[in-house]
């Protein structure tokens, strides 16, 4: 059965250069009906964990906190120890999720801290150049899922077949713990189909403010789902 707009859960990815603009973006995402809001902390020019904790505390139950490092195309310029300290501090505010990179040298330390705080980890892995072969993708998914929480595997699509390869990962009993899709214009289809195949939500942006290649806005995504579902149920 086709998914309706009500069942199609969306995570709006937000950012700001300062804490106030980040808060404004979070509030805007919530006001237009985001199910979950990703706060991209690496966009902040001045990152103070205590200030962030105070400002974002009222919205933590809806937030994914993401502090993306340079080696995964993020903007955070500090070292891994500093990044881990910030995420550990913020995890004490009970956010809905904290995104931690499988490649991080501090991964095990961060995962242990999130488990102790009772926060669900999104264990992420990105390839901004290509979509690896299926065996490699399955190995990464298996490793990420073994850590508990949600596994997030995102690659760059260079052809239509890359969508098929990434979506084949949903042949698993744990599909509701998996977010797997392709970035780029060639990968837009996989973003929508991933949710239909079991992903807990789809990453979208505020209108005119994407945080990744090929990321549609929440209004564009809703309109497409509305058109498809109205045609499906009205046939």
Split into its structural domains, the chain has a count of 1
DSSP output for 36-63? EEEEEGGG-SS--HHHHHHHHGGGGGGE
Tell whether 61 is covered by a domain. Answer: yes
Tell whether 177 is covered by a domain. Answer: no
| Torsion sign across C-alpha atoms 103, 146, 34, 19 | negative
Tell whether 128 is covered by a domain. Answer: no
Tell whether 223 is covered by a domain. Answer: yes
The rounded distance, in Å, linking the Cα atoms of 63 and 57 is 10
Greatest Cα pair distance, the chain, in angstroms, is 56
| 194: three-class secondary structure by DSSP | helix
| Parent domain of 86 | 10-119+185-233
Tell whether 191 is covered by a domain. Answer: yes
Q: Which residue has the tokens 């990744």?
A: 212
pLDDT tens series, the chain, 235 aa: 455 555 689 999 999 999 999 999 999 999 999 999 999 999 999 999 999 999 999 999 999 999 999 999 999 999 999 999 999 999 999 999 999 999 999 999 999 999 999 999 999 999 999 999 999 999 999 999 999 999 999 999 999 999 999 999 999 889 999 999 999 999 999 999 999 999 999 999 999 999 999 999 999 999 988 888 775 545 5
Q: Which of 152, 158, 175, 176 is catalytic?
A: 152
In Å, how far from its chain's centre is CA 188? 15
Q: Which of 23, 126, 158, 176 is catalytic?
A: 126
CATH number, domain containing residue 41: 3.20.20.70
- Residue 78: both structure tokens together: 């500090």
- Whether 130 sits among the annotated catalytic residues: the reply is no
- Whether 70 sits among the annotated catalytic residues: the reply is no
Tell whether 147 is covered by a domain. Answer: no
For 121-151, letters b (16+ CB in 10 Å) and e give: bbbbbbbeeebbeeeebbebbeebbebebbb
Tell whether 137 is covered by a domain. Answer: no
DSSP letter (8 states) at residue 33: T
Tell whether 172 is covered by a domain. Answer: no
């Amino acid at each position: 059965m086709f998914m309706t707009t009500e069942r199609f859960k969306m995570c709006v990815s937000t950012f700001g250069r300062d804490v106030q603009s980040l808060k404004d973006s979070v509030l805007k995402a919530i006001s237009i009906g985001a199910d979950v809001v990703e706060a991209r902390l690496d966009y902040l020019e001045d990152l103070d964990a205590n200030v962030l904790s105070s400002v974002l505390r009222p919205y933590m139950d809806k937030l994914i906190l993401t502090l993306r490092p340079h080696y995964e195309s993020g903007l955070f310029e500090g070292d891994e120890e500093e990044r881990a300290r910030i995420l550990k501090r913020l995890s004490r505010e009970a956010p809905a999720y904290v995104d931690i990179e499988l490649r991080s040298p501090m991964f095990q330390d961060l995962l242990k801290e999130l488990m102790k705080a009772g926060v669900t980890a999104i264990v992420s892995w990105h390839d901004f150049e290509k979509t690896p072969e299926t065996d490699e993708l399955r190995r990464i998914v298996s490793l990420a899922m073994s850590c508990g929480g949600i596994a997030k595997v995102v690659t760059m699509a260079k052809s239509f077949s890359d969508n098929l390869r990434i979506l084949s990962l949903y042949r698993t009993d744990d599909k509701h713990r998996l977010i797997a899709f392709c970035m780029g214009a060639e990968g837009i289809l996989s973003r929508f189909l991933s949710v239909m195949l079991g992903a807990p939500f789809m990453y979208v942006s505020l209108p005119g403010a994407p945080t990744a290649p090929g990321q549609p806005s929440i209004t564009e995504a809703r309109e497409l789902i509305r058109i498809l579902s109205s045609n499906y149920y009205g046939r």
